[in-house]
Amino acid sequence: MELYSLIISVLALIASIFTYFMHDKKLKEQERKINEYQLKQIEKENLENKKAAIRGNIVKGLKSGRTLKVYNSGRATARNIRVEGLDVNGIFYMRRDIFPYELMNPQDYTELTMHLTCGCPSTIKLKYIWDDEFGDNNEFEQVLTI
């Protein structure tokens, strides 16, 4: 009888050890995956902190007046901001010489006043080009309704 008890105890101990190591292996695999995910998130966050995001809006004013508001919605400072596509028949700009814009911090903006004449299009396609910590000559194209 003692032999059976000893065999059962040894088998139970072996089963417990096997279960422990299998569970430990699963936990370590989950921990490795979580660590990889966290590292990817940190890298992504660091990358986003180096990027500026130049965008624009057109705000309607009185009669034929419009304002092009160019802003930085990114997390980094944008330098040497250029805007292409402003040469459109039927649209005249006040102070067109503001571009290239030297420096725009996150959440900053600049405005360009426009006056519309007969025959101007209903939309305008603009291309924003800028430099930031991520790289030079970043681009974003946008179609805005006038």
Do 60 and 130 belong to one domain? yes
Would you say 57 and 69 are in contact if contact means Cβ atoms under 8 Å apart? Answer: yes
Provide the domain count of the chain.
2
Report field, pTM of the whole predicted structure over 0.85: no
Higher pLDDT, 127 or 95: 127
Do 84 and 137 belong to one domain? yes
Does the structure show a pLDDT above 90 at 9?
no
CA distance 50 to 71: 16
Do 71 and 135 belong to one domain? yes
Do 17 and 61 belong to one domain? no
Do 94 and 120 belong to one domain? yes
Do 66 and 125 belong to one domain? yes
Do 43 and 95 belong to one domain? no
Do 112 and 138 belong to one domain? yes
CA distance 115 to 64: 6
Domain limits at 118? 54-145
Do 132 and 74 belong to one domain? yes
Do 131 and 107 belong to one domain? yes
Higher pLDDT, 6 or 43: 43
Q: How confident is the model at residue 7 (pLDDT cuts 50, 70, 90)?
A: confident
